Structure 1
Amino acid sequence: MKIKIITFISYFLPGYKAGGPLRSIVNLVNHLNDEFEFWIVTRDRDLGDSSPYNGVLQNQWQSVAGAMVYYLPPEDVTIKNMAKIINSTPHDILYLNSFFAFDFTIKPLLARRLKLLLNKPVILAPRGEFSSGAIKIKKFKKTFFIRFSKILKLYSGVVWQASSEHEAQDLINILKVSRSSIFISLNLPARMKISNLERVYARSTPLSSNLRIVFLSRISPKKNLDYALMVLRKVRVNVVFDIYGPSEDEEYFAICKNLIKQLPVNIVVNIFGSAHPDQVLSIFNNYDLFFFPTRGENYGHVIAEALSVGTPVLLSDQTPWRNLKDDGLGWDLPLYEEAKFVEVIEEYSRVDKNEKEHKRKNIKEKIFYRLSDSQVLEDNRNLFKSVTLNS
């Protein structure tokens, strides 16, 4: 009999603007739905949208991409209604996908604290919210809530899912949780086939002498677009810098637009807005470099996508993707060393076209095996099985 997992997440398919956490659950379902039943409770609209998805039914279960999904309109995202959905849906595990999400984590936990829920084990995946860069964003507000939640014992008895040893240590340092309550299982990548290596994405733009760099992510302080722009302000070679992604914070986006106006003439910037998931791989294929100086990722699906088509990455050291230079996949640098980011960009601009193409081929070959690690799948499988057995 399959283990039934009722999963709360702010956004799910057919949405895509929320990025990583959504992709993490999609990939989890794709890999494990033969062994587990996933029942997903989510919003009826995408990030930033005022109207619901077309073609989905509200307030009832329906089959979507290997899972059963329940779409909630805003007026029904209440503690009482969530408790009703949870208790009326047979399940073995309650699975939450944020620490700070008010509607889809805190409300179910308040229902649990008020003893409105059946006594079932709870797994919580913070999804990178406690990385050193991410926790500094609205730090006072987050610190206050963490203290308040401890008084309420809101997270008492929760099993924590960390995606790396680094994230596990963040949980211990910040939340003071015991190591025995943490289960490490890396995020699952999209399912890959060896044929992916042979697929050739046509370039929509011709190769040019200018270095083509892309930023593809949500436009928010955590993703650190402003830092990328400040780096480019110091770059002396010709660069085309294209920005894809939904604006999550208009005030922050205004700051970025102001920085764009201050860039020297050798840096040409284009803003394209959101990219549909079906377009992402072909977009990456058109660039020499993916520049993503994020303040914190617990995985970074967009990094895996860039590498899967051979595009090298220039990252901060706030992701699990480390030692990239040694592996020939790119660079991971500390954010306090801005000059090193400038140096990498200028040096890579001088690499000739043939060498860049050779590097792309090598990256595609290396990343396939890195993304096909069977142990990652086994760790995720064991997370749910062990929690069920110990409950």
Structure 2
Amino acid sequence: MNILHITPSYKPAYIYGGTTVSISRLCEAQAHFINSQTIKNNKSANKVTVYTTTANGNEELDVESNKPILVDGVEVWYFERQTKDHTHFSMALLKKLFQTAQNFDAIHVHSWWNTVVIFSVLICILKGVKVIVAPRGMLGEYTLQSQKKSPKSIFHKFLGKKLLKKSYLHLTAQIEREEVDYIKDNRVFVLPNLLSIPINQNKIEKTNTQDKEDTNTFKLVFMSRIHHKKGLEILIEAISQLKKQNNKNSKINLQLDLIGKSESIEYQNSLQKLIIQNNLENKVKWIGWLEGNQKFEHLEKSDLFVLPSFNENFANVVIECLSTGTPVLVSDKVGLADYVKEKELGWVCKTNSIDSLLQTLEIAVNDKIKREKIRQTAPQIIQNDFSSQKLAQKYIEMYQKIKDTNQTM
């Protein structure tokens, strides 16, 4: 099967957070799966290709453009963009797609609200080519409400929905299904993100656990893109209140590590100001962006991961964190919230509620037995449920089903 993925950004543009990681991981796993199979037809017609831009925040990636580059087993075409903002307009990419769209068995387009995706979907529809759109949480109530009466909202009402109705939709979690109830069930597929999860991740050594008991430090960790939708203001306020309670009733030394990047210096400065206002300078540590082993080692050495987002279609980092054995606390608007509850891998609080987050934090901090159980069982559960090879095969089966259907665009 000849597969094309279209995305406004691709690695190493990690400034865009988990989306960059999960899309590249999906492409790599599919390429590996295809190469590992016995291919009866011409092998050159069975591969994974990516069309993307040189986007890297307000800058551009230092890569050769408009030519194929092999990136970890995947043929990637980077195209220069004419706009340096979130519109990511790239005439070269759209021209290439117009010339080649009919050469692929499956075209999988990622994200929404940018010209790369919207015009790519339009080109596929005009050329009668089936296209799969993965909106990645960009059609949620939080996003649409924040853009109410904006040009984007008007576009979505009069044209966006029409384009989506003529496409197939790939959702990464069931929570997204309610956001697109205008799409017929036979055009919707739910498959989780693929992630690079350490195999046989070592558990925390007893010496580390003993050190924690001796210092009586409870380490919270937040790891994601630094963005207002992540609920960081609520987290900081909740920690401030918990700190006051601890000063009166407990000797627990609560610490929070903030790991991630922000595209907005102004927003990051506003968080820093809030931390100072709540006298948390000694309780909150800015780590910056971590990758690879550094990321997993930091997650593993933490007591609890917290993600109180207002909207999160999947949340890759939740799976990455659980793969190390560290329990999680997420809001009920995180796509994996139901999974966390079903598998008993952590706690879920109400969205946009300091009281709920505070109460849930207290429960998690005090429930050492549950946290230890999660640390022992979570890595194997994640390995079983999120095997890259199994998921890569399911994606390809989805493509084949769409290819074989008689539905028209």
Q: Do these two structures clear the TM 0.5 threshold for a shared fold by scoring above it?
A: yes
Greater percentage in helix:
2
60, 63, 68: which one aligns with 2:67: 60
- Residue 249 of structure 1: which of 235, 244, 264 is its match? 264
- What is residue 189 of structure 2 aligned with on the other side? 183
Aligned partner (choices 210, 213, 227) of residue 220 of structure 2: 213
What's the CA shift string for 1:281-309, capped at 9, x where partnerless? 01112211111011222221101111111
Read off the aligned partner of 1:245 and give its amino acid letter.
G
Residue matched to 2:40: none
Structural mapping, 1:32-47, within 5 Å? 32-33=30-31, 34-35=33-34, 37-46=47-56
Bigger shift: residues 155-164 or 64-73: 155-164
Distance 1:202 1:122 in 2: 52
Indicate whether 1:127 and 2:149 are aligned.
no
- Give the structure 1 partner of residue 385 of structure 2: 370
Q: Which amino acid aligns with 2:117?
A: T
Q: Which 5+ residue runs of structure 1 have no aligned equivalent?
A: none
With the length of structure 2 as denominator, give the TM-score of the two structures: 0.81
- The amino acid that maps onto 1:6 is L
Distance (Å, rounded) in 2 between the aligned partners of 1:341 and 1:228: 7
Q: Deviations over 1:13-49 (max 9, x none)?
A: 2232212222222222233213262211122243x25
State whether residues 314 and 330 of structure 1, in contact with CA within 8 Å, keep that contact through their aligned partners in structure 2.
Answer: yes
- Letter of the 2:172 partner, please give it: S
One-letter identity of the residue aligned with 1:270: K
Tell me the secondary structure at the aligned position of residue 41 of structure 1: strand
CA–CA separation in structure 1 for the residues paired with 2:209 and 2:66 = 42
CA distance in structure 1 between the aligned counterparts of 2:119 and 2:132, rounded to whole angstroms: 15
- The verdict on how the C-alpha distance between 1:177 and 1:341 changes in structure 2, with shifts beyond 3 A counting, is same
**Structure 1 pair 203–129 and aligned structure 2 pair: CA distance change class (3 A):** farther
Kindly state the Cα deviation for residue 228 of structure 1 after the two structures are TM-superposed: 1.3
Per the alignment, residue 18 of structure 1 pairs with 16
In 1, Cα distance between equivalents of 2:329 and 2:130: 39
Number of residue-to-residue matches in the alignment: 376
Report the TM-score, using the length of structure 1 for normalisation. 0.84
| SS of equivalent residue, structure 1 residue 39 | strand
Residues 174-232 of structure 1: per-residue CA shift (max 9 Å, x gap): xx222222122222333553x33569799699523121111111111222222211222
Root mean square deviation of aligned Cα? 3.1
CA change 1:279–1:262 in 2 (3 A) is same
**C-alpha distance in structure 2 between counterparts of 1:250 and 1:111, whole Å:** 36
Residues 109 and 133 in structure 2, CA contact (< 8 A), matched pair in contact too: yes
**SS of structure 2 residue aligned to 1:233:** helix
Give the structure 1 partner of residue 172 of structure 2: 163
Query: How big is each residue's C-alpha offset from its partner over 1:64-115, in whole Å with a ceiling of 9 and x where there is no partner?
Result: 1121101122239656423321144432232211121x132023234456x4
- Counterpart position of 1:273: 288
**1:93 pairs with 2:106:** yes
Gaps of 5+ in 2: 35-45, 247-252
Partner residue, 1:335? 351
Residue 139 of structure 1 aligns to a residue whose secondary structure is: coil
Q: Is the 8 A contact 1:213 1:239 kept in 2?
A: yes
